[in-house]
Structure 1
Amino acid sequence: MSKAGKDRNKAKRVVEQQKARERRRKVTIWTSVAVVFLLVAAGLVGYAVSSSQQAADAGKLVVPSAAVDDGSAFAVGSGPVVVDLYEDFMCPVCRVFESQSSAALRDLAAKNEITLRYHPVAILDEASEGTQYSSRSAGASAAAGQGGKFVEYHDALYANQPEENTPGLTDDKLIELGRSVGLTDATFSDAVKNKTYVPWAGKNTETFSARGYTGTPTVVVAGKKVTGPNNALPTTADVTKAIDAAKG
């Protein structure tokens, strides 16, 4: 073979080697791109799953085991006549009812003449400038009930009741009120911070509406709603009269 032929063959081999290296380089690049894409996709899927799980957890209904009446209320006493009281912790009329009738009802419950059942509901969220105070305070009361301090915390909420159309109490203040009544462990504070029982408050409010009630306070004695004259707020006398009638 002539020198020129050898040179052509050598040049041909060099070109073929370069093409082979280029093919391997492209395969490596596209393989790397594919791997990166899969990793990114997996990360996005993982993030989406994690975010969805967090959202699901945040909205999960947790019913306090200490609650009665299908998990909707906290009971005081165990008497034969059931008195159901539906309240919103931002409702000023509820506070009026508590101030005038609470002592008498608690006394009857202590004597086991009645079972007094408190149903925290949230119908005034729109009156707290977007903070959902009614739901948050109802949820906090459930956490307190789970900690064995429902009545004490209930009373502390009314003693510190914010005015309507204000942001209401902060979560930190709700936790502080818990500490003031002996709820000092992390279980209570975590439940308030994490809004553990806020969905429960929403469920209670749905039940309240499904039972045909529209305003707070709603007082029900032995299954019958009690009101004052012309559908006014019932007095202590109105409620005790209904209790006596239910006793037979």
Structure 2
Amino acid sequence: MSNSQNKRNVKANGSSGASGGGKSNSTGPKVGNRKPPAKNKAIADARKAASGGNRQTAVWIIAAVVVVALAAAGIYAVTKSNSDKEAAAAARDLGAGTVSVEDGTITWGEDDAPAKVDYWIDLLCPACRQFEENASATMEDAVNAGDAQLVVHPTAILNNNSNPAGYSARATEALLCAADQPQGYKFMKQLYEQQPPEGGPGLSDAELADIAKEVGLSNAWNECYESDEFADVAEANTQAFSENGYPGTPTVLVNGEQITSNNPADLKNAIDNAAA
């Protein structure tokens, strides 16, 4: 091999500078100003990040535990609230009523109660549902305390407000067939709870039967409803409602005096005054 080749090898290895040039061909760091190789720096950064990451991870774990604890507390509070409401509703349940075909009424409470409260209702009537929601607890407490007797007159004044017509009458029959069973009052409340909108078909016979089953009514309800035992009651009650000149449902009377507001306080005051 010639000497010229050896000189090229020496220059390529950085042992000697090129003639006439001031720059070194060396690409390595200078010893006096050494920087860590890129690989080592990446490792150091990763360790640093890992150290800080552990603290951050711990913070996230603690936050997650707090969130889970709060969620559990919220679930407990909601469950307890629902349980309390169910217990209160069970305590107020009026159970079985007394059905009179002749009067077209359902009665809950004692005959000797000082306040006789008459409800004229239509089970398709939104205002009746609103009154039920506002005043039912007041009424139930008064009946259970012996201060009032509740007499319900189901009508069909909105019979033509369903399509096809007839839901109000069917709902009246369904209620009368249920009312003298232990779950009768629950059934009426469910008819309000699941009240269909005006202008629609109303609840079907199958849906009414489902509600009866849900609240625990016996097969006697099905037999009664299918027999049309109370088919004429809704029409008779509607006629009586019109003859009495009542303006609309709900019409609520305490010892014959009409309550003109949906405020449960007015109903309570009327019952209290009757008991005084």
Instruction: Give the shorter-chain TM-score range.
Output: 0.5 to 0.7
For 1:71, the equivalent position in structure 2 comes to 103
Aligned to 2:196: 162
State yes or no: 1:224 paired with 2:262. Answer: no
Whole-Å Cα distance in 2 between the matches of residues 166 and 152 of structure 1? Answer: 24
Of structures 1 and 2, the larger Rg is shown by 2
TM-fit CA distance, 1:191? 2.5
Q: Is the 8 A contact 2:119 2:253 kept in 1?
A: yes
Give secondary structure in 2 for the equivalent of 1:220.
strand
Alignment of 1:70-149 (within 5 A): 70-78=102-110, 79-149=113-183
1:237 aligned onto 2:260? no
Equivalent in 201, 205, 213 of residue 234 of structure 2: 201
Which is worse superposed, 201-210 or 191-200? 191-200
Q: CA deviation at 1:192?
A: 2.2
2: distance between equivalents of 1:161 and 1:127?
Answer: 13
* TM-aligned CA deviation for residue 119 of structure 1: 1.3
Structure 2: gaps spanning 5 or more residues? 1-96
CA contact 2:115–2:254 (8 Å) conserved in 1: yes
Is the alpha carbon distance of 1:66 and 1:193 closer, same or farther for their aligned partners in structure 2, counting shifts above 3 Å? same
1:210 aligned to 243, 248, 261, which one? 243
Q: What is the count of residue pairs matched by the alignment? A: 178
Residues 43-92 of structure 1, C-alpha deviations (whole Å, 9 max, x = no match): xxxxxxxxxxxxxxxxxxxxxx9325953221222122101111111101
Paired letter, 1:102 = S
Contact 1:73 1:118 in 2 (8 A): yes
CA–CA separation in structure 2 for the residues paired with 1:152 and 1:77: 15
| 1:105 to 1:66, Cα distance in 2 relative to 1, 3 A | closer
TM score, norm. by length of structure 1: 0.67
- Seq. identity, %: 34
**Are the aligned partners of 1:104 and 1:236 in contact in 2 as well (CA < 8 Å)?**
yes
The answer to whether the Cα contact below 8 Å between 1:94 and 1:216 also exists between their aligned partners in 2 is yes
Cα separation, 2, equivalents of 1:217 and 1:66? 21
Aligned residue for 1:67, secondary structure, equals strand
Q: Distance in 1 between matches of 2:101 and 2:256?
A: 13
Separation in structure 1 between the aligned mates of residue 274 and residue 147 of structure 2, nearest angstrom: 11
The 2-side partners of 1:145 and 1:71 are apart by 14
